[in-house]
Chain A
Amino acid sequence: MDSNGTAFPVQLYIYDLSRGMARQLSPIMLGKQLDGIWHTSIVVYGDEFFFGGVGISSCPPGGTMLGPPDTVVELGNTEVTEEIFMDYLSSLGETTYRGERYRLFEHNCNTFTNEVAQFLTGMKIPSYITDLPSEVLSTPFGQVLRPILDSIHIAPPGGNVINSQNNHS
């Protein structure tokens, strides 16, 4: 009724960074079962958007070095046009989602995806993805490895960084 007919489908691409090894090794190493190390991105307007150590990036869907996603979740449709969305992404990229703000545990790609998904569709991403950092940190091994892991910035190559202005200092 109030829709002017344009609806853009929004999808969530889920990648397992460990390629299945987390599923096998997590019981040994962490003491609990983790089915994967999840990296997610939002696919809309025919492009894939994700947040990594270099900031917000975009690429053709499935175009990062990770290849095709392990799982695709339909988040629904959005009326938001691409122009508005790019505005929104630029603002995000200047503030909370600059590259240097990347934190593997607290502020990672899934944080970004969650926020964007809510913006576009009102839906959140599945909780098993956003719960992953706390799951890992609640294990002794996770705590031990935390300093090392904190310095890791996941940035799957193949994307182009969206930046409204180059990094000022």
Chain B
Amino acid sequence: MAENSGADPAVEGKSEENAATGGTIIMVTVKTPKDKEEIAISEDASVSQFKEEISKRFKAKQDQLVLIFAGKILKDGDTLGQHGIKDGLTVHLVIKTAQNSGLSPNSSNAGTANPGSAANLGTSQGSGPSPAPSQPANLFTGFGDLSSLANLGMGSSNFMELQQQMQRQLMSNPEMLSQIMENPLVQNMMSNPDLMRQMIMANPQMQQLMERNPEISHMLNNPELMRQTMELARNPAMMQEMMRNQDRALSNLESIPGGYNALRRMYTDIQEPMFSAAREQFGNNPFSALGGNADSSGAQPSRTENREPLPNPWGPPDASSTGTGTTTTSTTTSTTPSVSNPLGIGSSSLGNGVFNSPGMQSLMQQISENPQLMQNMLSAPYMRITVTPENPPPPSSGLGSTPAAGTNPTQQQLMQQMLQMFAGGNASTQTPEVRFQQQLEQLSAMGFINREANLQALIATGGDINAAIERLLGSQPS
């Protein structure tokens, strides 16, 4: 009967089970997201007594404490015994800080708006189709970034408006653009072709363009192409490379009789309207935002069948796709397991850690460019080969039991594909010979009869015919 819990008159009900009755003391671990403490409490204690102890230890008010055990919220009137809380068990604690889910409003300036706004756009889109029972207001407070958006004055949850504003910010600041591209979240988003297509199609100018030029909509609807584009767009460095190759290829095209006219036609019909549409939004030539293709690539027309959607609100629009080689022969990084893609892991689903680690990235690029390097790596002493076609049980000689780099050709392919997949972007999933079949034929038609050398050159250049030709000719400028 004694109010053993001190000055707290808020104990309702069950007041007969207070510590004065001399229950045994148990140690209960109270765990918050940040840390945990052990609290000694009588096993007959009520929840409110428990909370009092906790509030002293955690320096929080009792009203702010939310105790959870076994999925149930412990109410003040309950007892510990009621919930089965015994010695040594863990109770979870959440300290409510404010009604706004305790998130500090983000004073976003342009700098921090980078990943923040990226998350915002994704968030506002994600919250749209979400079937969550909570109202949008709850989501706004639940995600700190959105509440920061409100602070910015961009309180609109309309995706289109957000997009427009973001674009304007982006295009006025190329630095920010490259920063955004680096952001793993953005890269994640861009690896979702459906998402990208939606975003692009939502742009009214693109829609007009598509009406005028049905090829463009055809191209947008080609998932292969979109995926290629996404991979390119994600990796600005690689894209610059691609564009340079493209430009070289195009300059070849000019030399064909009548070719120049074809180029001009392409440009005026297709590319110019796209550029104008893009320019209206971006305020300058989209290519200059890349900050790397200063000279001719800006106005350079591209091949007809490799048209990329230009107004990419998230990043550098690439008006030049991969060469015909990689487009037609590679199966890209689909995520369904197939014979040629045994691991079935899309490089996008593997995440960005591999891409983002610069050392790793350069290593992988080197490897994919130089298969000899990979062979060396594989045959290093700690990766000794033991595999016969039947599965070997224990590894011989030390640590390695990896698929042979030299013995079993199918497993060699496997390893190669695996490593190529790790390398991302220009990864393909077939053996070089199959991949470059078309290029090989073209090369031999051009008069390069040394198939071996052709293959080597193609592997080294990743399927780019013109670069391969240059290699074969001893880096003679084309």
Chain A contacts to B: CB under 8 angstroms:
2-3, 10, 17-21, 25, 27-29, 31, 45-47, 52-54, 58-60, 63, 65-67, 76-84, 86-88, 90-92, 94-96, 99, 102, 104, 118-123, 140-141, 143-144, 148, 151-167
Check A3/B72 contact, CB under 8 A, given A153-B351, A166-B116.
yes
Check A87/B132 contact, CB under 8 A, given A155-B188, A157-B191, A165-B104.
no
**A-B contacts, 5 listed (Cβ < 8 Å):** A83-B142, A86-B142, A91-B102, A152-B351, A155-B188
Instruction: Look across to chain B and name the residue whose beta carbon is closest to the beta carbon of A66.
Output: B349
Instruction: Check B96–A21 contact: CB distance below 8 A.
Output: no
Check A144/B344 contact, CB under 8 A, given A17-B349, A165-B103.
no
Known: A121-B71, A160-B127. 18 other contacts (CB 8 A): A19-B336, A58-B126, A60-B130, A65-B349, A77-B71, A78-B72, A90-B101, A90-B144, A120-B68, A123-B71, A140-B399, A141-B399, A141-B402, A151-B353, A159-B188, A161-B185, A164-B144, A165-B104
Q: A94: which B residues are within 8 A, CB to CB?
A: 33
Give CA–CA (A100, B162) in the complex, Å: 28
Smallest CB separation, A59 vs chain B (Å): 6
Check A159/B106 contact, CB under 8 A, given A46-B132, A53-B184, A82-B134.
no
Total count of chain B residues near the partner, CB < 8 A: 88
Instruction: Check A157–B348 contact: CB distance below 8 A.
Output: yes
Instruction: Check B189–A157 contact: CB distance below 8 A.
Output: yes
Check A76/B71 contact, CB under 8 A, given A29-B403, A160-B122.
yes
Give CA–CA (A45, B391) in the complex, Å: 46
Q: A99: which B residues are within 8 A, CB to CB?
A: 184
Q: B189: which A residues are within 8 A, CB to CB?
A: 157
Check A53/B403 contact, CB under 8 A, given A79-B72, A161-B185, A163-B119.
no
* Closest A-B pairs by Cβ, 3 of them: A153-B353, A122-B70, A91-B33
Instruction: Look across to chain B and name the residue whose beta carbon is closest to the beta carbon of A64.
Output: B349
Smallest CB separation, A140 vs chain B (Å): 5
Instruction: Check A156–B103 contact: CB distance below 8 A.
Output: no
